[in-house]
Amino acid sequence: MRGTLSPIDKAKYAAARRAADLVEDGMRVGLGTGSTAAWLVRCLGEMVREDGLKIRGVPTSSRTAALAREVGINVISLDEARWLDITIDGADEFDGNLNLIKGGGGALLQEKIVAAASDMMVVIADAGKEVGTLGAFPLPIEVIPFGWQTTQALVEETLISLDVLGRQTTLRMNGAKPFVTDEGNYILDLHLQRIGNPRQMALVINQMPGVVENGLFIDICDLVCIGHGDGRVEMRDIHKGTIEQERVEFVETENLFSDLYD
């Protein structure tokens, strides 16, 4: 995979690069999971190696932990950190109120715990992740393996009374076997098409026996950095009600990071 980055990768990089500038020396930083969050980890690693940035990173998955160590970030557990200054993560969807659907990478449980234990949560995303109403992306819910089919049936029955367009649910697979999270659980993907009341959905789903957590992040995100393929970044602060536009410059070299494609 050599050569120029695609527009979507440039958008992800632009958002990650701008969000990385929010990280200051000495911070305890939650590190998200997924393709956009991977750009963020690499940006922070570059700052650690080249600028002497000193941070402690709390990863939200084993994959992120491995990448963070690879790029030189000091990795600690959430129990060691106790509380975080900032968490930066991607999202599968976000709406105008900065409510999110997360969990496409299968790390929603750790991602939500880490985000909730932070003074600030920043979402980095390309512009295609913004939606008017959540639900086009399947909503993941993490369930314990014991009796998962019974849990699935209960979920489908409950969906009848909720404001959604679709009610199909599927067990996430990894080849011929169920996908297993870092916590040893399964994931059910809910194909809802539209979620009319995300807050109600999150509360109702989490009350069901067998459900560990859902992928709706309500009132958790503080700031979103939206990247575009030309380097533009739009920053929306839900608390200040502000929108700022900036531009990230790309270095036109064969590879943006020399180790990215090794």
Q: Which of 24, 70, 93, 111 is catalytic?
A: 111
pLDDT of res. 4? 78
pLDDT of res. 25? 98
Rounded distance, CA 132 to CA 198, Å? 12
Secondary structure (3-state) at 85:
coil
User: Which residues have CB under 8 Å from 84's CB, separation 6+?
Assistant: 28, 29, 30, 58, 78, 114, 117, 118, 119
Rounded distance, CA 157 to CA 121, Å? 33
- CA 43 to the chain's CA centroid: 16
- Model confidence, pTM: 0.93
The CATH number of domain 139-212 is 3.30.565.10: no
pLDDT of res. 250? 74
pLDDT digits (tens, 9 = 90+) for 59-98: 999 999 999 999 999 999 999 999 999 999 999 999 999 9
Question: Which residues define the annotated binding site for substrate?
Answer: 33-36, 89-92, 102-105, 129
pLDDT digits (tens, 9 = 90+) for 138-175: 999 999 999 999 999 999 999 999 999 999 999 999 99
List the domain boundaries for the chain.
Answer: 7-131+219-247, 139-212
Comparing 28-32, 237-241, 252-256, the range with the smallest average pLDDT is: 252-256
Give yes or no: 111 in active site: yes
pLDDT digits (tens, 9 = 90+) for 103-129: 999 999 999 999 999 999 999 999 999
Token code pair at residue 77: 């557990």
Q: What is the CATH number of domain 7-131+219-247?
A: 3.40.50.1360
Rounded distance, CA 148 to CA 41, Å? 34
State mean pLDDT over 189-196: 98
User: Which residues have CB under 8 Å from 169's CB, separation 6+?
Assistant: 152, 155, 156, 159, 188, 189, 190, 191
Asked if residue 1 has pLDDT above 70, the reply is no
pLDDT of res. 262? 38
Asked if residue 20 has pLDDT above 50, the reply is yes
pLDDT of res. 251? 66
Residue 5 pLDDT level (bands cut at 50, 70, 90): confident
